[in-house]
Amino acid sequence: MADPIIQTFNYTLDPVIQISGLLYLLGSLTVSSLSDLRRLAAQKDFSEVWGAFTILLLTLDMYLLLIGSIPGIALLLKWALILSFTVLTTTGKIFRISTMDVTAITALLALLNPAEILLAGLILLLANELLHPFLKKFGEAGAYPFLPVVFTVNLLLITYHLLGGPNAINQITLT
């Protein structure tokens, strides 16, 4: 039997739901990233859809908790990490980005388990560092389009999942 700590960090939504959600976000992030690059702004509708998507995933997690498919501590950890990342980003402690960008990140993180949320946070930081010099050419007054960073991280997470990433992590055992 796997260690409870490992189980807490690695519980995952059904793989079909997870990859479908990541692909859905990829589509919306593609269009919004292009808009962000062209006008340094995407339509507000995207933010509303990502917010609704996040609420839908929270509702799904709550349902899975009620039927006993998710340990309570795992659900609490997942949403505490998402909330922490959102607060740190909104207050400018991690990134200085728009509310729409934060909503896109939150929707992306809502599809992940706690271990993947930590991984995605690190990838976001790295992708931002790598892409910032290029993206600032599309910005003005210090602002730059951030949605392409979220798009890139989403694409990397899709690749990770298609290559069996969660299965590799789930087989980790403490020795």
pLDDT at site 7: 61
Six token digits for residue 145: 């389009």
Q: Torsion angle, CA of 91/97/101/106, rounded to 10 degrees?
A: -30
**Residue-level pLDDT at 44:** 80
**pLDDT < 50 regions, the chain:** 1, 172-175
Residue 168 CA, chain-centre distance (Å), reads 20
Q: For 30-61, how does the pLDDT look when each residue is reduced to its tens digit (9 = 90+)?
A: 888 888 888 777 678 888 999 999 999 999 99
pLDDT score recorded for residue 96? 87
